[in-house]
Amino acid sequence: MLGIREEMVVFLIAVLSGAIVRLIYQCIRCFRRIIAHQLMAVSVEDVIFWIGSAVYMFVQIYHTSDGSIRWYFVLGVAIGAVLMSVLFSAFGKMHKKIYGHKEKDFSSGT
């Protein structure tokens, strides 16, 4: 049984893990905008990303809570990913205000 302090550390690690996974996917999306990809290449990249993400999350869960999936770990991962998305959106809006010209928004899906 984990104490509240250890559970808080596990939660913060989960938030960081979710943010890292979202950051990596954002980097992949930016790479796709720089270099045009065919549908097959995008599919292969996505499969590799999701397998890598699954392995990374498994290792994080194994190290933080001995392999048992806790609800606050899942919640932390989701919060980390959402916070990273909000951060990307804020940076995109700041970039538009500073430079004043229209570029493709890297935080949105379009």
Q: Is residue 109 part of a domain?
A: no
| CA dihedral over 110, 83, 70, 62, signed as positive or negative | positive
Per-residue burial over 14-52, b if 16 or more Cβ lie within 10 Å, else e, is bbebbbbbbeebbeeeeeeeeeeeeeeeeeebeeeeeee
Q: How many domains does the chain have?
A: 1
pLDDT for res 95: 81
| Tokens 């570029």 sit on residue | 103
Q: Is residue 76 part of a domain?
A: yes
Q: Is residue 68 part of a domain?
A: yes
pLDDT over 70 percentage in the chain: 89
| Cα–Cα distance, 94 to 82 (Å, whole number) | 18
Q: Is residue 20 part of a domain?
A: yes
Asked whether residue 1 carries a pLDDT value surpassing 70, the answer given is no
Is-contact 107 89, C-beta < 8 A? yes
Q: Is residue 108 part of a domain?
A: no
Domain that holds residue 59: 4-99
pLDDT for res 104: 58
> Higher pLDDT residue, 50 or 66?
50
12-61 pLDDT, tens digit each: 999 999 999 999 999 999 999 899 889 999 999 999 999 999 999 999 99
| 106 token code pair | 């890297």
If phi > 0 it is left, if psi is from -120 to 50 it is alpha, else beta; for residue 70 that is beta
Q: Is residue 106 part of a domain?
A: no
DSSP conformation letters of 9-30: HHHHHHHHHHHHHHHHHHHHHH
Q: Is residue 54 part of a domain?
A: yes
Q: Please, what is the average pLDDT of the chain?
A: 88
| 102 token code pair | 């229209």
